[in-house]
Amino acid sequence: MALKDRFSNFNSIELPEEGLQPADIQNNEVEEADLGPVFDELALSLSQKVASIPVWFEYSENEQRKLISDFLLYKLENEYSDISFSNEEKEHIISLFMNSVHGFGELDYFISRDDVNAIYVNSDGSIYTGRNYGFVKEDAVLSEAQFEKLYSSIRRKINKPDSLFFGQIRLNKLIITLFSPPVSNEKILFEKLKSEKVDFKFLLNDNSINKDTCEFIKKLITEKKNVLIAGPASSGKTALISAIAREIDLDKRTAILENYPIIHAQNRDCYYIKGLGENGLSDLFNAVSKLKYEYVINDTEYLPVILSEHFQDGYFADIEADSLTQAITKLAGYKIYNEKCTEKQAKAYIASKFNYIFLMQKAEDSLFKISSVAELTLNKSGSLVLTEILKYEDGLYRYNFDEN
């Protein structure tokens, strides 16, 4: 059996219940001894060894490869001498280790996953992984000592921080951003340089949307309509809003508002609101308003930002909600509580703010599906009316764009 057969599922890994561990190798063949546990033990030992080296990032890629090679050969000769590997197999294992061990201890597990394009770590040790549909909180956590060691080692690598509040460096195939007080608590963001971009071509190939729906959304962008994108957590809202951001012409001045830096679009001004207080948000709103952007992309799901009067035409925002009516009720409730207005007035403001509302749903065969689209209007009495113009049902998109 070739080495690639023995370790064919190296990237197909899951977290075991007892905590974060290296890749769980699943061998489908039983012609010879199961070598998965051996690889697990080697990967765990190597990850612990690399994480204990405070100057790991100072080594070049060739130097790192040499250290990993020496480590592997020592282990094989002294602890696994009963297992025979060819030189070609050893080199292949070294290459696998180079792609899965980055010097970040337990975080290496997430960095090595193909479906993860970013990892966000808070000062309390909580870990969030970013995929095409947004960030998800993981069960694994870092201890306070682990976080401080990691943060300090990266901080030392940054000779000139980008600002008083954060710094950014590139290490191998990662971009690492540090966030510091007073804007927020200490945080670390890891981003992969070669993550697959999400645009409309990607969504079409992924079967998330069809051609007619794609053209309809592009028409809304060109006409600078205001669109609210609603959906449950991890239902693809960020994926759709990322595609919208990339579809906007590069010569159109565009602002992107985010909690974390996850949307990558060329020639865009990005603002990160996580940790900003009331005064910070006020300064942000004033700055964006004065700069008179042609488009504003809001991926914060933060009600005060969604309803801000500073954002006019060409405004796309998302909100966590399980239905169209729940999204409207959520926004109206916030408006009523903070401005002491009536429900009718609150909903009228929402209708004046947004032209359309989308509802996203999770899907098994794609990133997401757009389950419904409705147009927001006011009737003669000034009450909000939702008119559904698209519905995803029984595997088909049914729509009535011509009448709208």
Q: How far apart are CA 67 and CA 72, in angstroms?
A: 9
Alpha-carbon gap, residue 295 to 28, rounded angstroms: 51
The residue among 149, 159, 194 whose CA lies nearest residue 175 is 194
Specify if 238 maps to a domain. Answer: yes
pTM of the model: 0.60
What's 127's DSSP letter?
E
Handedness of CA 349, 323, 117, 280 (dihedral sign): positive
Beta strands in 36-173 (DSSP E): 118-122, 126-131, 134-141, 166-171
Considering the domain architecture, whether residues 142 and 268 belong to the same structural domain is answered as no
93 and 147 in a single domain? The answer is no
Residue 65's CB: how many other CB atoms inside 10 A?
16
How many angstroms from the chain centroid is the CA of residue 41? 30
> Domain check: are 204 and 151 in the same one?
no
- CATH of residue 315: 3.40.50.300
Domain-located, residue 404: no
Decide: residue 197, CB within 10 A, 0-12 exposed, 13-18 middle, 19+ buried. Answer: middle
Phi, psi dihedral angles at 62 (to 5 degrees): -65, -40
23/375 Cα distance (integer angstroms): 47
Last residue of a domain, one of 157, 192, 227: 192
Task: Tell me, yes or no, whether 335 and 261 share the same domain.
Answer: yes
One digit per residue, pLDDT tens: the chain, 404 residues?
443 333 333 332 232 333 333 333 333 333 334 456 666 677 767 777 776 666 666 677 788 888 888 888 888 888 877 777 788 878 877 877 776 666 676 787 787 777 787 888 888 889 988 876 667 888 888 888 888 878 887 777 776 554 445 566 666 667 777 776 544 567 787 777 655 578 899 899 888 999 999 999 999 999 999 999 999 887 889 889 999 999 999 889 999 988 766 776 777 888 877 667 777 778 888 878 788 899 999 998 889 889 988 888 999 999 999 999 999 999 999 999 999 999 999 999 999 999 999 999 888 778 788 999 999 999 999 899 999 999 998 888 888 865 44
Question: What is the rounded CA–CA span in Å between residue 259 and residue 272?
Answer: 5
The answer to whether the CB of 362 falls within 8 A of the CB of 237 is no
Residue span of the structural domain in which 122 resides = 118-192
Q: Is the separation of the CB atoms in 205 and 295 below 8 Å?
A: no
47: Cβ contacts below 8 Å, ≥ 6 apart: 22, 101, 105, 106, 108
- Single-letter residue type at 117: N
* The last residue of a domain, from among 171, 192, 213: 192
Tally of domains within the chain: 3
Task: Read off the amino acid at residue 173.
Answer: K
Q: In residues, how long is the chain?
A: 404
Tokens encoding 375: 């147009």
- Pair 298, 219 in one domain: yes
The reply to whether 321 and 352 lie within a common domain is yes
Q: Which string of b and e fits 366-394 if b means at least 16 CB within 10 Å? A: ebbbbbbbbbbeeeeeeebebeebbbbee
Q: Are residues 364 and 216 in the same domain?
A: yes
